[in-house]
Amino acid sequence: MGMAPRSEQVMFNSLGTRCAGDLYLPEVDTPVPGLVLGHSGVMVKEALAVFAPYFVRAGFAVLAIDYRTVGSSEGEPRCLDYPERQVEDFRSAISYLQTRPEVDAARIGLWGVSMGGSVATQAAVLDRRARCVVVQSPSVWNGWRYLERSLGRSGAHALRDRLDEDWQARYAGEDSARVPHLSLTGETVRETPDLAGELFPTYRNEKTLDSTEHLLTFSPEDLIHRLAPTPLLMVANGGWDPYHMLEEAQGAFARAGEPKKLEVLPYDVLGLYTGPGLDEAMALAVDWFDRYLRKTRLVTTTPTPTRESVVAMTQ
């Protein structure tokens, strides 16, 4: 991969709370297209340093962000995993990139991994400044269905009982309970939360229990048909993967409009994070951004005709 690009630690305002970002800039003089990178729930922005160099070497400016209350970003209580707020943080990151002279403000794309991918997609649905979206190892497109598939119907029922209890505690003035963000099972990925904590000191494998209620009501598949004509690339896992389920990606992709592309790579749950599929997935992402951010003409608006010009055209 060569030397890692130099990064600048920045802070940007997201609706009154300061978010942290790592800004990576290529060695070029002219303004370049910019990308906002968003992480999954079991990552912090430092983990995105694996992905950012691919884009920087291709000539893109990259802003890897921590969502509010997570990692190096500010906000209390800590570890609120509210997808709708993360959508807002993506949009705030676009606004920040547009202030940077190194970035072409009209050419900004979004990239997200796992949950960050569906968050990025919803951000692009709401914000037309996002000109292009890439989703890697997509996971949650309908939070309620995702939890039922992950936990089983009995597990989901037990979770709802816990949420009822947590609501009563919050009604009485207590804080929401704190729970592990992810309890992984299986030999392949069992150590991931512990490993993340060792590699990235700002990472905490916990979230507020009420975050789960926000996940239950998060359903970007219900909006994805509104993304078009913003180009969408999904790079999905075709191997064994209980967290980034292929049928979830295919279902959401089917609802999206053109232009769109789905690439299914034959790798398991971590195959697009650490290899062996990382290079392949990133090459697809770079090609997509290159095509739709650098080479595609931007949508232009026809000027509103004046009364005089209409008269002239009809004569």
pLDDT in tens, 134-172: 999 999 999 999 999 989 999 999 999 999 999 999 999
Structure-model confidence comparison of residues 3 and 90, the more confident one: 90
Domains of the chain by residue range: 7-148+214-300
pLDDT for the residue numbered 3 = 62
Mean pLDDT computed over 279-305 = 87
> What φ, ψ does residue 7 adopt, rounded to 5°?
-125, 155
Burial class (CB within 10 angstroms; exposed 0-12, middle 13-18, buried 19+) of 197: middle
| Cα distance between residue 41 and residue 137, in whole Å | 13
pTM greater than 0.85: yes
pLDDT in tens, 265-275: 998 888 888 88
Contact 109, 62 (CB under 8 A): no
Fold of 7-148+214-300: Rossmann fold (3.40.50)
pLDDT for the residue numbered 243 = 85
Res. 199: pLDDT tops 70: no
% of residues, the chain, pLDDT over 90: 75
The half-sphere exposure of 37 on its side-chain side, counting CA atoms within 13 A, is 30
pLDDT for the residue numbered 309 = 61
Alpha helices in 48-142 (DSSP H): 52-57, 83-97, 115-126
Res. 189: pLDDT tops 50: no
Most confident of 118-132, 149-163, 297-311: 118-132
| Cα distance between residue 99 and residue 88, in whole Å | 17
